[in-house]
Structure 1
Amino acid sequence: MIVVAGEALIDLVPQDPADDAPTHGGLPDLSPRLGGGPYNTAVALGRLGSPVAFCSRVSRDGFGEALLAGLRAAEVDVSPVQRGDEPTTLAVASIGADGSAGYSFYVDGTADRLFATPDSLPTGTRAVSFGTCSLVLEPGASAYEDLMHTTAARGMFTTLDPNIRAGLIPDPDAYRARFKSWLPSTTLLKLSEEDAHWLGGTPEEWLTAGPVAVVITRGGDGLSVHTRCGHTYSVPGEHVDVVDTIGAGDTVNAALLHGLSQQDALSPAAVAALDGDHWARLLRFAAHAAAITCSRTGAQPPYASEVGDV
């Protein structure tokens, strides 16, 4: 069982208007989509066929019910989900000419911010994944952080994708220091090239602090892994007509976890033992899965039947 811990929210994604549609003062129509980095990761894992549970706090409003329905449709265990009467977080997406996505967030007083550290995780949990807004917004951020340190101390495999949303981080230096405090409790660190630049560190520095491997994504240029033993392995991106990049990094997270699970490598020792051939196969699988997500509007990760075996 892989547990994904973090926020679930609604992405409001701009739609291309029809030629004869009213302009609404120049504003695009916005379509609500199920989202949030951890949520997308959980859905992607479920679609790939991995046993997965989602650990979060979700509103009882209509959006919250839709989020839970989306998890159940992907066969994600929702038993660890906490509920609240507060509204669902909203993220308004803007799509660039190259399909890249930017976000504005509406987070004040929302349900996911009040997440509390659970007493336990589902039986058979082997790995726990963390990241994105849930590690920024208090008081829930401290609860997720506590869960990260606790699970790592118990010897569980942990992954971290900071997935930086700079607009939500009031004190960048404080966040960077906090990020470094997570590394000793992180087995696999995955981040984008843009995240790495914002954080201001290097894979070598981060590996020294704790992770066994660091995966860096470069959009259409592919992705690389840096290992603690000093090796770097890279694969190119897969060409696709990009609709938008929403959920692409989350799909990479899920594909890496799914692939490692399929290789029975959800432990620090097993990851450290992976050779170049294993990493290349795993990275190509993740690149292929992410490319499929980029070919669709919003975060719509692929199913196992679309990507084949790792």
Structure 2
Amino acid sequence: MSSNGRVVVGGEALVDLVPLERQPLAPLAPRLGGGPYNVAVGLGRLETPTTMLTRLSTDSFGDALLARLQDSGVDEALVQRGEEPSTLAVVTIDETGAARYSFHVSGAADRLVTDPGDLPADTAALAVGTLSLVLEPGASVYADLARRAAEAGVFVSLDPNIREALVTDPDRVRARLDAIAAVAGLVKLSDEDARWWGRTPADLLAAGAGAVVVTRGADGLVVHTRDGEVAVGADVSRPVVDTIGAGDSVHSALLAHLHAADLLDRAHLAALDPDGWRDALGFAARVAGWTCSRAGAEPPTRAELDGGGRPVD
């Protein structure tokens, strides 16, 4: 399927409560986030046609989450609303800027998403991952949607982005991830995800994944394909404030780059040469570097990357 269409991003939208200072019991500031939500915002800011599939609360956080999607140019046609509360994630930042999370998810709106039926006819790709593939009943909804999308020729992209503290049935979650990875054109994961999952890039390629991109923090990115590996270093041109949303920025940047190059297609991606992968990974590293230079998950706009845009507020 051609990438001349939209990217649908399915998954949770939540509020990160981020410390304003690196000290115990520092005041917390709300920052809008959630892995899939960050991917959608990142794609929108990179001017890739994007639709968000999620369920938002009708509380003030849900209103703010919806407004930020709109401000980022993300289509809201598949956004559901409900009176349930918004998911909250309390963030702790260590001395290196790395983030740890404590989640409050019981009865939250995003895990109660219902099946949207057929995706829009011009859908080129579906991206899924993170809490939305762990927390039922929504996890089964997204997994089934990914299966149906792949069967219809839609490019599927997976980022497991595991939050181990929320996994109560590891075997079931691993089986769900295995099933999606087997039909995915792209799997993006961190070193930590791979260790928890117990799957190597070679395992995922053998099971059916088209390409596997692994993020390695300060050591950069590496893609594994059936033709070999290509690696690029991290972008260190900007000081790190925190790493919130860094992996999500890699995911959105990869999808945006592949969309622009008409490569959101398993056959086209399989033909991408090492130089093409270096371009894609380099762009992703640059976008992630921008995100890490600001507090919270604030991916850059296309205008910022091009050097002529006003910084995001």
Q: TM-score range by the shorter chain?
A: over 0.9
CA–CA distance in structure 2, aligned partners of residues 184 and 162 of structure 1? 13
1:49-82 deviation digits (Å, cap 9, x = unpaired): 1010100111111000000000000010001011
Paired residue for 2:311? Answer: none
Give distance in 1, aligned partners of 2:165 and 2:213: 24
One of 16, 28, 32 as aligned partner of 1:11:
16
Please say which of residues 206-215 and 115-124 is displaced more in the overlay: 115-124
- Aligned-pair distance for 1:117? 1.1
The offset of 1:122, in angstroms, is 2.6
Deviation readout 1:104-136 (Å, 9 max, x if unpaired): 000001111111111122331100100000000
Amino acid at match of 1:304: R
Q: Residue by residue, what CA displacement relative to the aligned partner does 1:17-60 show, whole Å, maximum 9, x if unpaired?
A: 8xxxxx9xx51101001000000000000000101010011111
> How far, CA to CA, are the matches of 2:189 and 2:305 in structure 1?
22
**Aligned pairs (5 A) from 1:217-236:** 217-227=215-225, 229-236=226-233
Which among 107, 117, 120 is matched to residue 119 of structure 1?
117
Q: Matched residues in 2 for 1:28 and 1:54: separation?
A: 33
Pairing 1:16-55 to 2, within 5 Å after superposition: 16=21, 26-55=24-53
Q: Percent identity?
A: 53
Aligned counterparts of 1:35 and 1:108: Cα–Cα separation in 2: 17
Secondary structure in 2 aligned to 1:56?
strand
Instruction: Classify the secondary structure of the residue corresponding to 1:79.
Output: strand
Give 1:1-310 correspondences, 5 Å limit: 1-16=6-21, 26-227=24-225, 229-239=226-236, 240-308=238-306
Give, in whole Å, the separation in 2 of the partners of 1:144 and 1:4: 10
> What is the SS of the residue equivalent to 1:92?
strand
Q: Which runs of 5+ in 2 are unaligned?
A: 1-5, 308-313
**Partner SS, residue 194 of structure 2:** helix
Which string of whole-angstrom CA distances, capped at 9 and with x for unpartnered residues, describes residues 287-308 of structure 1?
Answer: 0000000000000000112224
Secondary structure of the 2:258 match is helix
TM-score (norm: length of structure 2): 0.94
Q: Distance in 1 between matches of 2:199 and 2:130?
A: 18
How much has 1:88 moved relative to structure 2?
0.4
Q: 1:152, 1:158 within 8 Å by CA — same for their partners in 2?
A: yes
Structure 1 SS opposite 2:182: helix
Deviation at 1:198, TM superposition (A): 1.4
Q: Secondary structure at the match of 1:238?
A: coil
- Distance in 2, matches of 1:201 and 1:207, equals 10
